[in-house]
């Protein structure tokens, strides 16, 4: 069965909005776009490249898909696997797109995602997609969080864990700290929270 792996740049106060650039996602009046830029370094770059070079399909919310469509098809030399991957796009308004191959999902989204997880093929990587992630968490569909935790607080913005977060327990299978304090950590799902006997 495919795993759903959520990969995010995240601040200490849990914000995942617009890490890459000032105009990436200013919705809600967010004024801190591009906040990861000062923390770029070879250790982080190597970790990102390893994830980007894995075999995967993409599971994306509409907004992230629309942000990416003008960029990644023209930058296949940087991330060729993104163009080759099947893009599963959750949207109530889009039913087609030019970034192929793409599959658009609406209606009973959680059940359709459960069926996709049963299909043969690579795992599903989720980048950005803050609203979609809340649904995935609420319905117990996330298997792994691969996070880059930055030593900065932003005070506002879309957060990884918002309303509807359920009790979950994880084990750390890999971790690294970059020279400028970014924690790169892989959390694999254990199941429901067990306060008596954490593993």
Scanning the structure block, which residue is given the tokens 């009973």?
A: 108
57 vs 151: CA distance, rounded Å: 30
| Average pLDDT over all residues of the chain | 93
Q: What is the pLDDT of residue 192?
A: 54
Q: What is the pLDDT of residues 130-184, one digit of tens each?
A: 999 999 999 999 999 999 999 999 999 999 998 778 888 999 999 999 999 999 9
pLDDT at 116 over 90: yes
CATH class of 4-191: alpha beta
Q: What is the pLDDT of residue 198?
A: 44
Among 87, 36, 81, which Cα is nearest to 64's?
A: 87
Q: What is the pLDDT of residue 164?
A: 73
Q: What is the pLDDT of residues 65-86, one digit of tens each?
A: 999 999 999 998 999 999 999 9
Distance between alpha carbon 127 and the CA centroid of its chain, in Å?
A: 3
**How big, in percent rounded to 5, are the helix, strand and coil portions of the chain?**
25, 25, 50
Tell me 129's DSSP state.
Answer: -
Phi-psi region for residue 140, left (φ > 0), alpha (ψ -120 to 50) or beta? left
Do you find a cis peptide bond into 101, omega within 30 degrees of 0? yes
Dihedral angle over CA of 67, 73, 74, 76, nearest 10: 120
In whole angstroms, how large is the CA radius of gyration of the chain? 16
CB of 130 closer than 8 Å to CB of 6: no
Q: What is the pLDDT of residue 166?
A: 86
């Amino acid at each position: 069965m495919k795993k759903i792996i959520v990969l995010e740049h995240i601040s200490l106060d849990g914000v995942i909005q617009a890490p890459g650039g000032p105009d990436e996602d200013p919705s809600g009046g967010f004024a801190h776009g591009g906040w990861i830029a000062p923390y770029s370094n070879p250790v982080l770059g190597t970790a990102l490249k390893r994830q980007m070079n894995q075999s995967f399909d993409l599971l994306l919310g509409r907004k992230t898909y629309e942000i990416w469509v003008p960029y990644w098809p023209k930058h296949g030399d940087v991330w060729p696997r993104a163009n080759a991957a099947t893009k599963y796009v959750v949207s109530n308004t889009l039913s087609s797109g030019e970034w192929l191959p793409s599959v658009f999902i609406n209606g009973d989204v959680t059940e359709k995602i459960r069926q996709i997880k049963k299909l043969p093929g690579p795992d599903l990587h989720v980048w950005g997609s803050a609203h979609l992630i809340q649904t995935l968490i609420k319905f117990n569909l996330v298997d792994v969080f691969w996070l880059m935790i930055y030593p900065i607080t932003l005070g506002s913005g879309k957060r990884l864990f918002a309303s509807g977060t359920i009790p979950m327990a994880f084990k750390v299978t890999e971790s690294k700290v970059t020279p400028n304090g970014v924690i790169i950590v892989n959390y694999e799902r254990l199941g429901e929270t067990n306060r008596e006997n954490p593993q």
